Structure 1
Amino acid sequence: MYTGGLFTSEKGNIERIEESVPAVNYEQLRQFISKSPWCHNQLMTEIALRANRKLKDYSNKSELPIGFYIDESSFVKKGMHSVGVSRQWLGCRGKVDNGQVAVFSSLGCGAYNSLIDCRLFLPECWTEDKERCNRAGIPEDEQEFKTKIELAIESVMEARTQGIVYDFIAVDALYGSSFKFINRLDQLGEVVMGRMRNSIHVYLEEPLFQLPERESNKGRKPTKLRAQTLSVTVKSIAESIKENLWEDIDIRSTTKGILKVQAFQKKCAA
């Protein structure tokens, strides 16, 4: 009844759902939402597994790859009692405002997509206030501060534990520019397609790191490893590619037409 109400009511709150769905009892619905001890993780796992089965069937027929997409979303709030609410950057407003932020994961293939995971971001103003967390009903083991990068890594690990099958992971510049995120996924053998800030430095060859030699007997000994290979910015790589080597690729349909990107694929010698 609650799920049906989310689709049929003008606003997805209990009062409007009671008006739009027959046989709904306000008090029962309020109990279900606020205090009923059901496990949302089990529900999300079942949704993820069902979505994966459907998308695998479609992928086999269409020969299109399955993507694992990670991005955060935000929700404007007026009060200060909703879990995780604070003044923070809200992408939906394009500025710092009062609201909640969560990291979402979804599976997609072609024009089909399904959310499979959601992890609420708890700012430090919450995790440093245990009394506030307890009043809001946050479980003790969930009162630890985690960055959005750490939440995204947890989401990937959860999907791997569930046995979710996909061909690549796609992220925006927040995650694509995080070496902690990229290195962890590289260790797991994941294929990642993501945006990067154009100021990020990368290596075109496997770098060799070593301690530099001490130039004199004065001062401290060098303790930081330095690469023997010069790094370059992502922007400089893009600018070095000739215009006729870029390929236009249609990504998906949007309200403004077909979303296109320009891509360059480096051909490797056989």
Structure 2
Amino acid sequence: MPRQHGSVPAADVPDDVVAELCTVLFSLLSRRDRRLRAEQYLRGLLTTPGRKSIRNIAAQLGGAAVEQSLHHFISSSAWDWRPLRIALAGYLEHTAAPQAWVVRPIHIPKAGKHSVGVDQQFAPHLGQVFRGQQALGVWLASPELSAPVNWRMVLPEPWINDPERREQAEVPERAGTESAEECAVSAAVQMAQEWSIPRRPVLLDLRRGGISAAANRLTGSGVPFLARISPSCRVTAADPALPGHRAGSLPAQRILELVKGMRAPVSWRDAAHQNATRTTLAAAVPVVLPGPLGGRPRQLLLMGEWADPAQPPSALWVTGMARLPVASLLRIAKLDGRVEEDFARIGDRAGLRDFVGRSFRGWHRHMTLASVAHTAIALGVPE
């Protein structure tokens, strides 16, 4: 995705929005110097043109002395970023009325080899291999706006299995090998279990697999979910009265084609086109996913959307939220469009791909403050 630095001018962010975020969030930092550095870094993210590296932020704010203090604050200091993330989510709950948690991958190209997590990696939504970091962000999303509140880095095996690399980047002992799909589930489950905010439906992409394991873990943790799946994902129609039930396991797309007579029009808001109202067809049927070896199969709802009634379904999802109407489920699914639009409009402007450094903790602190900057822009500069 091309970088879009400067797509939202910093001068457009009202100071009262920034000041309120500083008061609400940075009061959690116990030391006055850390509160000052946090506000300094946030304002630097919002005003520095181009890449939001510590060096560039310091050049904008005051030079070498500022660079040294900000570098220590981000990479070497001992403050915990997690309470700030929880507080940011709570703030958005009160100000933005989010309807879902949307898990979105972010790919950060990097040429070097010393920054934590850098490796040759495959980016599914780009369809290509790149060199850099791969992470998952959890965004609180409503039809009007979205902002990231939690981050989890996908650590390739060379970073997990190399003690010297782990030590140099200060990778915690608890961090192990996880696929991108496992990372997405872990980030959502952590929020549901440890954060004192209302649980919202989790929207995530499982088109590369891992559906049964993800459904089991999310359901076992009490997390409602809506997972996008591949048309070739095999499921079984759960209702004996439905076409295809006797055929057993079939590709999900085939099951939906057999029940297309059940389709109904659903209106939803298109974030990519200034929230214009769109109408597409959707249908949902109960299906059974194959269970783990020796385990019980899990019954879910399979939903499909047709952008063109004469073509196969354009998108497919499974969900455990079987009691929700199809229209409500599709509108939740469409919130990923809100996240995509806001990431394109604001993400690079807030510095979400700009951390320069080796430290695992430094990356997390930068991403936390860049998420606050993103929130400030989203709240202060409506579309």
Coarse TM-score class (shorter-chain normalised): 0.7 to 0.9
Q: CA deviation at 1:175?
A: 7.2
Q: Give me the whole-angstrom Cα distance separating, in 1, the residues matched to 2:141 and 2:170.
A: 33
Residue 111 of structure 1 pairs with residue 144 of structure 2: yes
Q: CA deviation at 1:73?
A: 0.9
TM-score (norm 2): 0.56
Find the residue that maps to 2:238 and give its secondary structure: coil
Q: CA deviation at 1:248?
A: 4.2
Q: Which residue number corresponds to residue 36 of structure 1? A: 77
Find the residue that maps to 1:138 and give its secondary structure: coil
Residue 121 of structure 1 pairs with residue 154 of structure 2: yes
Q: Which residue number corresponds to residue 251 of structure 2? A: 233
TM-score (norm 1): 0.77
Q: Which residue number corresponds to residue 282 of structure 2? A: 263
Q: Give me the whole-angstrom Cα distance separating, in 1, the residues matched to 2:128 and 2:217.
A: 30
More helix by share: 2
* Gaps in structure 2 of 5+ consecutive residues: 1-39, 241-245, 287-321, 323-383
Q: Give me the whole-angstrom Cα distance separating, in 2, the residues matched to 1:257 and 1:53.
A: 22
Q: CA deviation at 1:189?
A: 4.1
Find the residue that maps to 1:68 and give its secondary structure: strand
User: Residues 155 and 178 of structure 2 are in contact (CA less than 8 Å); yes or no, is this contact kept in structure 1?
Assistant: yes
User: Residues 75 and 90 of structure 1 are in contact (CA less than 8 Å); yes or no, is this contact kept in structure 2?
Assistant: no
Residue 153 of structure 1 pairs with residue 181 of structure 2: no
Q: Give me the whole-angstrom Cα distance separating, in 2, the residues matched to 1:54 and 1:229.
A: 49
The one of 74, 78, 83 equivalent to 2:107 is 74
User: Residues 90 and 99 of structure 1 are in contact (CA less than 8 Å); yes or no, is this contact kept in structure 2?
Assistant: no
Q: Give me the whole-angstrom Cα distance separating, in 2, the residues matched to 1:14 and 1:188.
A: 38
Larger RCO (CA under 8 A, 6+ residues apart):
2
Q: Give me the whole-angstrom Cα distance separating, in 1, the residues matched to 2:85 and 2:200.
A: 21
Cα 1:74–1:180, aligned 2, differ >3 Å: closer, same or farther? same
Q: Give me the whole-angstrom Cα distance separating, in 2, the residues matched to 1:110 and 1:178.
A: 26
Q: Which residue number corresponds to residue 20 of structure 1? A: 60
One-letter code aligned to 1:21 = L
Q: Give me the whole-angstrom Cα distance separating, in 2, the residues matched to 1:145 and 1:264.
A: 37
**Count of aligned residue pairs for this structure pair:** 239
Larger-gyration structure (1/2): 1
User: Residues 176 and 194 of structure 1 are in contact (CA less than 8 Å); yes or no, is this contact kept in structure 2?
Assistant: no
Cα-Cα RMSD: 3.0
Q: Give me the whole-angstrom Cα distance separating, in 2, the residues matched to 1:184 and 1:154.
A: 9
**Deviation per residue, 1:167-205 (Å, 9 max, x gap):** 422112347762111222233343322211011111222
Cα 1:257–1:112, aligned 2, differ >3 Å: closer, same or farther? closer
**Deviation per residue, 1:2-38 (Å, 9 max, x gap):** 1111121122012221233368712111211221111
Q: Give me the whole-angstrom Cα distance separating, in 2, the residues matched to 1:259 and 1:174.
A: 27
User: Residues 105 and 136 of structure 2 are in contact (CA less than 8 Å); yes or no, is this contact kept in structure 1?
Assistant: yes
Between stretches 151-160 and 123-132, larger displacement belongs to 151-160
Q: Give me the whole-angstrom Cα distance separating, in 1, the residues matched to 2:277 and 2:250.
A: 29
Q: Which residue number corresponds to residue 168 of structure 1? A: 201
Residue 250 of structure 1 pairs with residue 259 of structure 2: no
